[in-house]
């Protein structure tokens, strides 16, 4: 890859209802846009992309590398984001890095002395989550596998102060506080949002290390099967929204 000052990155997040795009030159943010959608990101995505490119004076041909959130999150949102980035990567023949949404949320809290638990609303009264800890160098590392779980059951597993962050933490904040008391550390609203810029920074670090996966390796991290997949397997999908 090129030197940091010349490397131009495009980062896209469509994993949750608030999606966004960021343009980075090395580790420097050149522009970022976020938008909340009522249904899917498809209706607003390309307008957002072209508006941001116009504001920075870049074109898609200028991009040296692509980054995209791979989940967990909205199944439809993930498919839209991955299809968009893979199409752009094929057209430009530039590499792609996939970034976990849970990694992005946990990475908001480097040097945290507490257990970190990013949670994303998974519908069906569940959350997608994983546990993380920050080491002495401020690097946030995952401990245990990501999963989907009832928030009440998740709370029963926790016996120490924990930073709960993400759309799941906000949605079930009262439940977590009721079950965990002072152990539940829930930050201010803006810290629960996925940052496209943070997605780009994580991708930049991996590009610098020489990570260059094939497009086939960039796959969605769904964690649980969709209702459509359950139907194919002959299982009855939940009717809970």
How does pLDDT run across 133-161, given as a tens digit for each residue? Answer: 999 899 999 998 999 999 999 999 999 99
pLDDT of residue 35: 85
Please tell me the predicted confidence (pLDDT) of residue 225: 76
Q: What is the mean pLDDT of residues 197-222?
A: 94
5 vs 20, higher pLDDT = 20
Q: Is the pLDDT score of 47 beyond 80?
A: yes
58 against 231, higher pLDDT: 58
Task: State the pLDDT at residue 140.
Answer: 96
pLDDT of 202? 96
**What does the alpha-carbon distance between residue 65 and residue 88 come to, in Å, rounded to a whole number?**
10
In the chain, domain spans:
8-101+195-232, 109-192
**Assigned fold of 8-101+195-232:** Nucleotidyltransferase; domain 5 (3.30.420)
What average pLDDT does the structure give for the chain? 90
Could you read off the pLDDT of 58-105 as tens digits, one per residue? 999 999 999 999 999 999 999 999 999 999 999 999 999 999 999 999
Residue 238 has pLDDT above 70, yes or no: no
- Tell me: the pLDDT tens digits for 212-229? 899 999 999 999 876 545
Q: What whole-number distance in Å separates Cα of residue 207 and Cα of residue 229?
A: 34
Confidence of residue 240 (pLDDT cuts 50, 70, 90): very low
Q: Edge-to-edge strands of the sheet including 115-121? A: 140-149, 127-134, 115-121, 162-165, 184-185
pLDDT at 125 over 50: yes
Task: Please compute Rg for the chain using Cα positions.
Answer: 18
Class of the domain covering 109-192: alpha beta
- pLDDT surpasses 80 at 2: no
Instruction: Give the confidence band of 39 by pLDDT, cuts at 50, 70, 90.
Output: low
Predicted confidence at residue 221, as pLDDT, reads 95
């Amino acid at each position: 890859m090129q030197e940091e000052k010349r490397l131009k990155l495009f980062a896209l997040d469509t994993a949750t209802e608030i999606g966004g795009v960021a343009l980075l030159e090395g580790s420097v943010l050149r522009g970022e846009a976020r938008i909340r959608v009522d249904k899917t990101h498809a209706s607003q995505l390309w307008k957002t992309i072209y508006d941001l490119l116009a504001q920075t004076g870049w074109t898609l041909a200028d991009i040296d590398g692509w980054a995209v959130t791979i989940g967990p999150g909205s199944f439809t949102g993930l498919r839209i984001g991955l299809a968009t980035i893979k199409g752009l990567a094929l057209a430009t023949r530039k590499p792609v890095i996939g970034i976990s949404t849970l990694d992005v949320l946990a990475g908001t809290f480097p040097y945290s002395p507490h257990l970190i638990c990013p949670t994303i609303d998974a519908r069906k009264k569940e959350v997608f989550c994983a546990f993380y800890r920050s080491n002495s160098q401020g690097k946030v590392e995952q401990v245990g596998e990501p999963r989907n779980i009832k928030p009440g059951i998740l709370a029963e597993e926790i016996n120490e102060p924990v930073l709960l962050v993400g759309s799941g933490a906000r949605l079930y904040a009262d439940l977590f506080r009721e079950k965990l008391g002072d152990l539940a550390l829930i930050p201010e609203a803006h810290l629960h949002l996925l940052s496209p810029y943070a997605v780009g920074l994580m991708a930049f670090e991996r590009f610098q290390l020489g990570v260059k996966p094939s497009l086939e390796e960039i796959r969605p991290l769904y964690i649980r099967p969709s209702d459509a997949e359950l139907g194919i397997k002959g299982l009855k999908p939940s009717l809970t929204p």
